[in-house]
Copies of this chain bind each other. A is one copy, B any other.
Amino acid sequence: MGGDFGPPETVPGVLAALDAHPELTVTLVGDSDAVQAELSRHDVIGRSVSIAPSEGKVEDDEHPIAALRRKPNSSIATAMRLVQLGDADMVVSMGSTGATMATAVMALGLLEGLERPCIGGNFLGVAPNTTVVDLGSNVDCRPSLLLNFAALGVAFSRRRLGIENPRVALLSVGEESSKGNRQVQESHTLFRESHLNFVGNVEGMDFFTGKADVIVCDGFIGNILIKFAEGLGSALVPYLHHRLSAVLPGEQVQQIGEALWTTMNLPRTMGGPLFGVNGLVMIGHGSSTATGVAGAINTGLLCHRLELVEGFRQELAELHRAVVRET
């Protein structure tokens, strides 16, 4: 039901993912009539797709916790219950990120030692090996929370991107440990004393310089950065169009513009896993079309195969063992 478009995009997205992955079985959670109406527009005979009916959905402008109390059988709550009961291996949602996170925490629980989940990953096609945490759920983070997020980022970098010993850095306004706001200065000490492969502070340009594999920041900044990149991508397409349309055929200009837009908007076409809950939950972009829905499912299948959640669990356990050893 989620996302800006609901079944008219999520259903075709699911069917595309089923085409690409015959081993996949999908349960569509939502309002039966709406989902059935969309399914009836496609040929679904013999395909592994079924409907789990739910009641209502959590809207973007609702307070997640309050909405979940009011709508205990909303689509996101019903979907999460399938994973909680072992009837599904992952949830894929294009709906309210806040509601998805809150439901995931309530239904699946947090990994041991963690206070809050976060969102992370590589979000720029021109920086494909740079993992960033937190990309936008937690503002005003204490240093110990950032350290836990760093461990989750390390697990992602290792399992998903194949980087054996990821270098971890704090995002700041200068490399020296004295640079940065109070949060970063306090975190710097904690990170330096941890078992992480901490390489110090990096700056805004270092998403692209390869100085670190995992860049850690507050979700306030992470969210601003991901939306800034998204907006910049949207602004650069007409800019390039203007410069290129005099010298290249329209179709080529179009292709170059689309490729640029995609590289600035990886989460729109790939989705990303929620970090830190006891189960696999994929967050898709709210404005995803069918391509984005299929992309989020694809990424989810990969994360499942890589046992990403187990990686998160191990990395957090290692972090907390190391902290106990030191104290």
Q: Spell out A's residues near B (CB within 8 Å).
A: 61, 124-127, 136, 139-140, 171-173, 176, 180-182, 184, 203-209, 218-221, 223-232, 234-236, 239-240, 243-244, 247-248, 252, 256, 259-260, 263
8 more CB-based (< 8 A) A-B contacts, given A204-B225, A205-B231, A224-B225: A126-B235, A126-B236, A184-B220, A204-B226, A207-B228, A208-B235, A239-B260, A240-B256
Given A239-B126, A244-B256, do A173 and B232 touch, yes or no (CB 8 Å)?
Answer: no
Partner of A181 from the list B139, B184, B203 (CB cut-off 8 Å) is B139
Task: Tell me the smallest distance from the CB of A119 to a CB of chain B, in Å.
Answer: 12
Question: What separation, in Å, do the CA atoms of A173 and B139 have in the docked complex?
Answer: 9
Distance (whole angstroms) from the CB of A100 to the closest CB of chain B: 16
For chain A, what secondary structure do more than half of its interface residues adopt (helix, strand, loop), or is it mixed?
Answer: helix
Pair B204/A227 contact, Cβ less than 8 Å: yes
Q: A236 contacts which chain B residues (CB < 8 A)?
A: 126, 236, 260
Closest B residue to A243 by beta carbon equals B256
**Copies of the chain in the assembly:** 2
A231 touches B248 (CB 8 A): no
Complex contacts, A206 vs chain B, CB 8 Å: 231
Is B230 a contact of A205 with CB atoms below 8 Å? yes
Contact B239 A181, beta carbon cutoff 8 Å: no
Quote the shortest CB–CB distance from A35 to chain B (angstroms). Answer: 29
Known: A126-B232, A139-B180. A227 touches B205 (CB 8 A): yes
Cα–Cα, bound, A201→B218 (Å): 18
By beta carbon, the residue of chain B nearest A176 is: B61
Contact status A208-B181, CB under 8 Å: no
- A217: shortest Cβ distance to chain B, in Å? 8
- A180 to B252 Cα, complex, angstroms: 41
- From B126, B203, B230, A224 is in contact (CB under 8 Å) with B203
